[in-house]
């Protein structure tokens, strides 16, 4: 690839768009958008953020929602470099944080191989912010000492083996991209004696259409079906879920179980 104008300074900035609410974009991310010549944005990045880009900036949707990729990662990498060499500053707007299951490092690595300057603006990750908005702490003194953040589905489409390891611990387990593997996830925890462990499934976290369902490991699959919960959603498994704003639901579940 050749630079069309010797005065162009090719640059790539990865910007984490946060969990969905446009107000959760960082100030540094906003400044990067305002400076961009080209913005490549994901399906999980709120399009309201595009209003912060210059009116002269070229805006390109590259999709990248799980199972519905409008452009392959290799094509996105190539487009980043092409636009940087042609126009200058490319902002890659990615949902959540670019380095947390976002393939951001791959894009940085590819661009740098072509001599493109790179920078990263961290974003607020959905793995902790979405539970937090439900007042579920990822850690709480006296309840847990650590947490796991795991992808539910690997690149090959299989359930992550780390789910089985996480299910054996007392840690809070936060699972991203796991709704298509919900029954398998439940089974992994059931065989480790976690049938009564509380679960929260939060869909469209931080957005006006956010909805959350609460259950135990034993009932999580039926609950998700009854409440029509689907991607994009965060699954939180652990005793900290009892501390959330809907903790009273677990008391109701316990009462119903005794009655039955």
Do the beta carbons of residue 185 and residue 210 sit within 8 Å?
no
Selected catalytic residue, list 11, 21, 37, 64 = 64
Do the beta carbons of residue 154 and residue 50 sit within 8 Å?
no
Known catalytic residue at 64? yes
Q: 8: closest CA among 86, 91, 111, 83? A: 86
Dihedral, CA atoms, 70, 149, 125, 9, nearest 10 degrees? -60
Q: Provide the angle, in degrees to the nearest 10, between the axes of the packed helices 104-113 and 73-87.
A: 50
Selected catalytic residue, list 11, 21, 37, 42 = 42
Q: Count of CB atoms within 10 A of residue 89's CB? A: 22
First-residue to last-residue Cα distance in the chain: 69
Dihedral, CA atoms, 248, 172, 230, 250, nearest 10 degrees? -20
The tokens of 161 are what? 């083996």
Known catalytic residue at 21? no
Do the beta carbons of residue 231 and residue 177 sit within 8 Å?
yes
Selected catalytic residue, list 87, 94, 97, 177 = 177
Q: Which residues have a catalytic role annotated?
A: 42, 64, 177
């Amino acid at each position: 690839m050749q630079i069309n104008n010797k005065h162009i300074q090719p640059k790539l900035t990865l910007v984490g768009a946060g969990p969905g609410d446009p107000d959760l974009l960082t100030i540094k991310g906003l400044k990067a958008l305002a400076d961009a010549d080209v913005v490549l944005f994901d399906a999980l990045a709120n399009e309201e953020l595009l209003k912060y880009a210059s009116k002269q900036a070229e805006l390109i949707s590259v999709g990248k929602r799980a199972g519905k990729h409008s452009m392959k990662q290799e094509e996105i990498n190539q487009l980043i470099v092409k636009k940087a060499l042609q126009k200058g500053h490319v902002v890659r707007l990615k949902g959540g944080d670019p380095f947390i299951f976002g393939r951001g490092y791959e894009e940085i690595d590819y661009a740098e191989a072509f001599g493109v300057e790179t920078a990263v603006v961290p974003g607020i990750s959905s793995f902790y912010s979405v539970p937090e908005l439900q007042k579920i702490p990822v850690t709480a003194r006296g309840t847990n000492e650590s947490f796991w953040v795991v992808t539910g589905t690997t690149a090959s489409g299989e359930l992550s083996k780390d789910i089985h390891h996480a299910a054996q611990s007392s840690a809070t387990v936060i699972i991203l991209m796991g709704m298509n593997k919900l029954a398998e996830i439940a089974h992994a925890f059931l065989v480790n004696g976690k049938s009564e462990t509380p679960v929260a499934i939060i869909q469209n976290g931080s957005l006006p259409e956010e909805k959350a369902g609460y259950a135990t490991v034993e009932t999580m699959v039926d609950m998700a079906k009854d409440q029509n919960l689907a991607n994009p959603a965060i699954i939180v498994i652990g005793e900290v879920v009892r501390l959330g704003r809907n903790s009273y639901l677990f008391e109701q579940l316990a009462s119903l179980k005794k009655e039955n």
